[in-house]
Amino acid sequence: MSQSPSEEVSSPRREAAAEPVPAVPGRLIALFAVASGMTVANLYYAQPLLSDLRGVFHVGEGTAGLLITLTQVGYVLGMVFLVPLGDRLEKRSLITALLTVTTVALVAAGLATGFPMLLIASLVSGATSVVAQILVPFAASLAPDHARGRVVGRVMSGLLTGILLSRTVSSLVSGVAGWRVVYLGSAVLMALLAVALRLALPRHAPTTSVPYHHVLRSTAALVRTHPALVRRGLYQAAMFGAFSAYWTTVSYVLTGPRFHYSAVGVGVFALVGAAGAAVAPFAGHWADRGLTRRMTGVAFAVAAIAFAAAGLGGHSVLLLGLAAVALDMAVQTSLILGQHTVYQLDPLARARLNSAFIAIFFVGGALGSQVGSIAFRAGGWSAVSVFGAALPVLALLYWLTERPNRVTRSA
């Protein structure tokens, strides 16, 4: 009888994995949430700084944009090559090592004397900021089965809050103390976080001892073995694409002739979207109650309606804000429901499953950001709204092809 990808690398520890899992202390869940938010924020600090960096390093718009692109490329590389190590190495030590590298890279970025140095430092910090995606399956592994959705939901609320607040923090700090302090301040936070996690996290034995290239091969095999993984990845690719299209282009609207917002004003507006993180615990509760499929469909519908409202909100900052909250809540709900499903596919391969899941939908986010920018240049905010609404509608149509409980059963 042939073995599944996870059995190929994990069978020696299957007996240990069956032991009862105690409840996760609330303070540890809070630490997971804060750490996830702080590390993922490193991917977004640069977005409101591009105008300042163009002047400092005397580069054009296209060259400055490479900073965002390479940070995201680094993140994808980290998802593919570093996150699977969460199954291969002891997690606490791996997290400490990655945060140490992140700290060094952020110091290099803050002290950069030329734009190439800043690009390289951002590529490295982007790759090692995948610590957030090691912490989430780590938390899921520590949680008991009946509360796994709620635990993941609380950790993910911290992650989403980090994404949404990063632009605001970056804008405010750079406005007061300069762009270098943004990077150097984050480096200090990463160093403190490395120490805190090293002291607080329990040791967590790896689930496999096979060579690294076998781990990578098994990750690819998991994609072929579990249709639910691909389906949930495509669902979230559409949602994250809509999310990226909105937040990449809304700043053009806010700083345009209608509203005349400053960079700091755009950062403050991003605070509105942070309210979407409040849905995370509820999404985890829905997952634990077996409402994954139903609430996934609701999330797609809400996201489409949010973008329809955003299209009308080109002349109303209130509508833009309400659309941002609704969209962020829908994206967060879909993400947590997807992770809950994916983590059930194989308890011994959660880091590798999460790596594949995030990599699939991150491609959607990158495309959403790029196509959203093209749509804005071609047809303004109305074109972005049509594109943004189309993505969750397509996901909803794909959702209709899913037989009830099919994904859950495969989990």
CA-CA distances (angstroms) from residue 180 to 99, 116, 128, 177?
Answer: 19, 15, 20, 8
Domains of the chain: 24-206 (1.20.1250.20), 210-411 (1.20.1250.20)
* Band of pLDDT at residue 21, cut at 50, 70 and 90: very low
Mean pLDDT of 377-401: 94
Residue found under tokens 């998802």:
79
Token duo for residue 267: 């950062």
pLDDT beyond 70 at 159: yes
- For residue 388, which of 322, 321, 331 has the smallest C-alpha distance? 331
Range scoring the smallest mean pLDDT among 163-167, 290-294, 319-323 = 163-167
CA distance 402 to 297: 11
pLDDT at 107: 98
Tokens of 191: 């160093």
Separation CA 324–CA 9 (nearest Å): 42
Q: Across residues 299-304, what is the average pLDDT?
A: 97
Lowest mean pLDDT across 216-230, 258-272, 380-394: 258-272
Among 156-170, 269-283, 312-326, 365-379, the range with the most confident prediction by mean pLDDT is 312-326
> What tokens were used for 276?
């979407």
Query: What DSSP string runs through 225-258?
Result: H-HHHHHHHHHHHHHHHHHHHHHHHHHHHHTSTT
With pLDDT > 90 as the criterion, what percentage of the chain qualifies?
Answer: 36
Report the percent of the chain where pLDDT is more than 70.
91
| DSSP-assigned letter for residue 401 | T
Average pLDDT, the chain: 84
| CA–CA separation, 309 and 327 (whole Å) | 10
Closest CA to 132 of 111, 102, 108: 102
Q: pLDDT at residue 188 above 90?
A: yes
User: Over the stretch 100-135, which tens digit does the pLDDT of each residue have?
Assistant: 999 999 999 999 999 999 999 999 999 999 998 888
Name the pLDDT band for 4 (thresholds 50, 70, 90). low
- pLDDT of 375 reads 87
The reported pLDDT for the residue numbered 87 is 74
Q: How far apart are CA 63 and CA 356, in angstroms?
A: 30
What residue type is assigned to position 349 of the chain?
A: A
Instruction: Choose among 366, 258, 369, 403: nearest CA to 320.
Output: 258
Mean per-residue pLDDT, 364-376: 81
pLDDT tens-digit series, residues 71-85? 878 888 898 888 878
Angle at CA of residue 74, ends 72 and 76, nearest 5°? 70
Pick the closest to residue 268 from 170, 351, 405, 157 (CA basis). 170
